Structure 1
């Protein structure tokens, strides 16, 4: 009898595998979709949706939860967001990135023997941006109170069962954490024992952070009692964080540990609402935040790729991989030299950088036979009708590694280097049936974080993304009040005047590499969102690192391929001058939503590794 049933079992298994070709199923929903970096945080978004909130409300709840759970970020970090406003029918950019504090100058860091601001500690901190970003998004585009939206995060701060990934990060970095008294008190819950950090599943409590969140809610509720409206009350909480008793304790704790942030720095900082940049790729409008992020790098890449027949090359063929590598190398070189804070002079030539004519010129320079290890920034100024004021710097640009260029192996890729390449963040994706769409890539204040006093708030480490040498990038030299050029880069795509894709990914300099390939997977190769987030990627290291210690130099020709790459493609890429590395993981976890207008539904995708998670209804 058992033998007779076996063929039927195999038929059923075959049908199941055919019905679900991906390791994780596609998420489907028609009312709302909530996806982020932790299952509990996705649940926080679902709770808000179930209470009647819109996608902005839910996104803010997920943002608060991920910060509270130290999902490679904390409350003292920065928030970058794109929001589709269905009533205005436009995409809105949110710039909640902190600024360099008083005294943070290139001369200051050079006097300490640093070529870049430090990777960790109080001197790595820009002013906190996430509390202000959350309050601004909620006040301007949400429907609920701060009390409602912060409720899940406040429950988490009272105590939640911590995951192994976060707990092990605390244990791994405990020697550094011990140098900061407020961090030590929070993260090392078993001082003196062999394992000093929490164990997986242990209830992790954050009394100081809970008090900070309670104070913000108290400010909101007091304002409501005085007759203020919902928006005004939320901004009262904003003010308490940046100008009130929370700010005073944050500054005290920061300066006690050697940081530079002042009360004036916090009071003068503000969230900026912006017009995002965009380009049209074969009828699809792709939106990114402006040149204070690396987002335009993806737009430049699409402009170069638009006239190429990528589908005919074949997915992840040697020709396709070589094309992506060369295009990304050129876009990264432009990023490394020209991107910076648009609110500080000099003005970046972003119009020229994003012009189709400039893209055509850059694409025409590609060597189709082998890798070019000497790719440099181009000159976009003529495409704005201007002359390049940095021509001399450009000619001498230190974009190539030192030494004999034929000996690329002299700059090896160490584990430390890879850690700096992949330094994580999280992402938040939300959409609802009313048409609101939110894509956020928040970060900063990740473990090992230096906590500012009794606030429970980990300080950002984003100062390290500045440079101190004008020759490397004249637009991104550190100075007080300025925002560093960051890697953080959410994406929205529109088609036929409607949302088409919302997507973002974890990682540092890998983000727009991964997002570019995700987008092409869907648009050029017809993958659904889950197939696209699971598909093998390539990664280039031919750029200057945005994060890390002093070793930021490019690794020309070094390429990361998926372990499944066939031998004949490996051989061809080696012949073209690439040095190959292989991993089973070739992308940070990507989260995405596809808008199915034919059926009036959402398709959600979340990578098949990591802890990212989505819920739809």
Structure 2
């Protein structure tokens, strides 16, 4: 009788949930983490202490930009797959102008970083680690520019949490164990070894989990920034001017000199002019409209337009009628992503140096043309299309495009549906964290800061871990004539914050870490909400699938055509059908992120924050 009662209870509960009605157990939720409901503000990022830093700034009266800056600084100090020498990319909604602004704080290639130089070092790609992998630091400039232009607080105020962390914080398992796993490479660089390996000669040389991790050099560097700001304020300069005085000290003063000295000592290419000439760019984002929702991404120096291209292609299909994660849905989305990523791999690059055909790539007619290539089987040889006719032009690289397409059609059979090894997946999903903030005034910030992850080369006595982003360049124009390195040029990166607007108001701010999987997970998160009516937390935890058919942006830039990762609870009939369609499948316990997201409830005037149950990501709302 008891078993029968429990069975009936379970069936009723499932029916209630399916109808969207209140559950039988008050206070229960089908999600592993609760929705973050806030009226005044919300702060979500990759580490609990990082979210606490944002909450502290909000409680002191800061706006969403102030909080985001403090969170970037905190997560960089905690080495949450980024450091102070990495890069910061952001989308900001300004409630006063009603516009979305793009922040480009990606470093560029230093003097001497050319195709010929790397080939002279017997390299097929720029290296994955070390001083020759480093672009110039971007995160300090990104933080200070965002704060100066759109924030309300002083640099000293937003740096206080990160300075407290630099003086010592209990290190988490994720970071501590990453240091231990990478200690052999860390020992190659003296300034990195000094910081990361406090127990040299012992069995475990990295900090223990929970040990107080101290970074004195970084604390001193941050103190110099605060000192520069204080001095400027004392001389009568404005808040904004004082922040830019600190900016100049980092990129043109004694901090810059030590970064250059320490980098060159270890074999890097930086010059003082490289740092002094680099500037943060405030740009117009790209966007498309999907069923009445305007979706904004950064320009083509990131992979962000992949999501926009995918949405344009998928608009030609009735996804909702296919059913969430049905065979047809998974297959259609996989193919759309393969088409968009093939264009990314060939056409995307720094618009300051190359003229990528973005008008054609983002046109609805081009998307319709690409959608015709989707049929019932996986096509492992999908390549880039030709968007130039869709913007009234002629492809200047038509010969290279033909070579690229011939190379794809000549892929050996053993390269198709190949399995995924641990090293390949680690490279494919390298780096990045995310920061999402919003406030009652209307400011919204979505950021994917990254670079300088463990193992990082530390630049002299600054405590600044250098970016590894040079590896995202290619050295063969047949792969991409748009993304070849040259001094001053930014590599095409995976970093890709997202903002969506509906009826002229913020609808969704969302971002995720995970290298080349980012826009795959973000696309599915967006569709979960828009097509399948999930709330933001359900959408953040829902099972996604990941493709590995595109070229990795890291290491040897490999691809695995037809390879797909699904969540391990995928039904057998789905698995069998996908295999028949030409996919090779692997299964993970979790496949959802880690996605961080804010949905805007305009009916009730509140925020709904979502943070997937994938990693250490965490949020706080009020």
TM-score (norm 2): 0.96
Q: 1:470 aligns with which of 455, 470, 477?
A: 477
Per the alignment, residue 79 of structure 2 pairs with 70
Per the alignment, residue 311 of structure 1 pairs with 320
Native 8 Å contact 1:330 1:362 kept in 2: yes
What SS class does the counterpart of residue 608 from structure 2 fall into? strand
> C-alpha separation between the residues in 2 aligned to 1:379 and 1:508?
26
Q: 1:233 aligns with which of 242, 265, 280?
A: 242
Per the alignment, residue 418 of structure 1 pairs with 425
Per the alignment, residue 599 of structure 2 pairs with 594
Unaligned segments of structure 1, at least 5 residues: none
Native 8 Å contact 2:417 2:583 kept in 1: no
Per the alignment, residue 222 of structure 1 pairs with 231
Q: 2:577 aligns with which of 572, 581, 585?
A: 572
Higher deviation after alignment, 393-402 or 43-52: 393-402
Per the alignment, residue 521 of structure 2 pairs with 514
Native 8 Å contact 1:56 1:141 kept in 2: yes
Per the alignment, residue 208 of structure 1 pairs with 217
Q: Which runs of structure 1 show a deviation greater than 6 angstroms over 4 or more consecutive aligned residues?
A: 9-14
> C-alpha separation between the residues in 1 aligned to 2:416 and 2:107?
37
Counting only pairs closer than 5 Å after superposition, residues 132-281 of structure 1 correspond to structure 2 as 132-281=141-290
Per the alignment, residue 300 of structure 1 pairs with 309
Native 8 Å contact 1:559 1:581 kept in 2: yes
Per the alignment, residue 19 of structure 2 pairs with none
Per the alignment, residue 547 of structure 1 pairs with 554
Counting only pairs closer than 5 Å after superposition, residues 356-367 of structure 1 correspond to structure 2 as 356-367=364-375
- Do structure 1's residue 397 and structure 2's residue 385 form an aligned pair? no
Counting only pairs closer than 5 Å after superposition, residues 409-448 of structure 1 correspond to structure 2 as 411-448=418-455
Per the alignment, residue 449 of structure 1 pairs with 456
What SS class does the counterpart of residue 350 from structure 2 fall into? coil
Counting only pairs closer than 5 Å after superposition, residues 311-390 of structure 1 correspond to structure 2 as 311-345=320-354, 347-367=355-375, 369-390=376-397
Native 8 Å contact 2:417 2:584 kept in 1: no
> C-alpha separation between the residues in 1 aligned to 2:516 and 2:291?
26
Native 8 Å contact 1:399 1:544 kept in 2: no
- Do structure 1's residue 530 and structure 2's residue 533 form an aligned pair? no
Per the alignment, residue 104 of structure 1 pairs with 113
> C-alpha separation between the residues in 1 aligned to 2:458 and 2:571?
47
What SS class does the counterpart of residue 221 from structure 2 fall into? helix
Compared with structure 1, are the counterparts of its residues 186 and 402 closer, same or farther at alpha carbon in structure 2 (3 Å cutoff)? farther
Native 8 Å contact 2:417 2:561 kept in 1: no
TM superposition shift of 1:306: 1.2
What SS class does the counterpart of residue 620 from structure 2 fall into? strand
Native 8 Å contact 1:101 1:481 kept in 2: yes
Native 8 Å contact 1:408 1:557 kept in 2: no
TM superposition shift of 1:308: 1.3
> C-alpha separation between the residues in 1 aligned to 2:170 and 2:588?
31
> C-alpha separation between the residues in 1 aligned to 2:521 and 2:454?
23
> C-alpha separation between the residues in 1 aligned to 2:411 and 2:26?
51
TM-score (norm 1): 0.96
TM superposition shift of 1:17: 8.3
Native 8 Å contact 2:255 2:462 kept in 1: yes
Structure 1 residues 358-417: Cα deviation after superposition (integer angstroms, max 9, x where no partner): 0010001212x2011110100000011001111111111068569654444585422110
> C-alpha separation between the residues in 1 aligned to 2:386 and 2:166?
50
What SS class does the counterpart of residue 600 from structure 2 fall into? strand
Compared with structure 1, are the counterparts of its residues 76 and 437 closer, same or farther at alpha carbon in structure 2 (3 Å cutoff)? same
Compared with structure 1, are the counterparts of its residues 127 and 257 closer, same or farther at alpha carbon in structure 2 (3 Å cutoff)? same
Native 8 Å contact 1:198 1:204 kept in 2: yes
> C-alpha separation between the residues in 2 aligned to 1:226 and 1:171?
47
Compared with structure 1, are the counterparts of its residues 102 and 143 closer, same or farther at alpha carbon in structure 2 (3 Å cutoff)? same
Counting only pairs closer than 5 Å after superposition, residues 88-127 of structure 1 correspond to structure 2 as 88-127=97-136
- Cα root mean square deviation, aligned: 2.0
What SS class does the counterpart of residue 91 from structure 1 fall into? strand
Native 8 Å contact 2:419 2:563 kept in 1: no
Q: 1:283 aligns with which of 278, 292, 296?
A: 292
> C-alpha separation between the residues in 2 aligned to 1:270 and 1:359?
34
> C-alpha separation between the residues in 2 aligned to 1:12 and 1:113?
63
> C-alpha separation between the residues in 2 aligned to 1:434 and 1:53?
11
Unaligned segments of structure 2, at least 5 residues: 15-22
> C-alpha separation between the residues in 2 aligned to 1:410 and 1:541?
10
TM superposition shift of 1:425: 1.2
Compared with structure 1, are the counterparts of its residues 303 and 220 closer, same or farther at alpha carbon in structure 2 (3 Å cutoff)? same
Native 8 Å contact 1:38 1:612 kept in 2: yes
> C-alpha separation between the residues in 2 aligned to 1:254 and 1:518?
40
Structure 1 residues 442-494: Cα deviation after superposition (integer angstroms, max 9, x where no partner): 00000001100000000000000001111111110000000000000000000
Native 8 Å contact 1:374 1:400 kept in 2: no
> C-alpha separation between the residues in 1 aligned to 2:295 and 2:159?
31
> C-alpha separation between the residues in 2 aligned to 1:113 and 1:320?
44
How many residues end up aligned between the 2 structures? 611
Per the alignment, residue 581 of structure 1 pairs with 586
> C-alpha separation between the residues in 1 aligned to 2:26 and 2:236?
59
Native 8 Å contact 1:254 1:260 kept in 2: yes
Higher deviation after alignment, 231-240 or 400-409: 400-409
Native 8 Å contact 1:399 1:554 kept in 2: no
What SS class does the counterpart of residue 15 from structure 1 fall into? coil
> C-alpha separation between the residues in 1 aligned to 2:516 and 2:25?
37
What SS class does the counterpart of residue 596 from structure 2 fall into? strand
Per the alignment, residue 18 of structure 2 pairs with none
Higher deviation after alignment, 406-415 or 32-41: 406-415
What SS class does the counterpart of residue 396 from structure 1 fall into? helix
> C-alpha separation between the residues in 1 aligned to 2:604 and 2:420?
47
What SS class does the counterpart of residue 404 from structure 2 fall into? coil
Structure 1 residues 501-538: Cα deviation after superposition (integer angstroms, max 9, x where no partner): 00000100000000000000000000001000100011
Q: 1:79 aligns with which of 88, 91, 95?
A: 88
What SS class does the counterpart of residue 42 from structure 2 fall into? strand
> C-alpha separation between the residues in 1 aligned to 2:380 and 2:310?
18
> C-alpha separation between the residues in 1 aligned to 2:387 and 2:13?
58
> C-alpha separation between the residues in 1 aligned to 2:412 and 2:426?
25
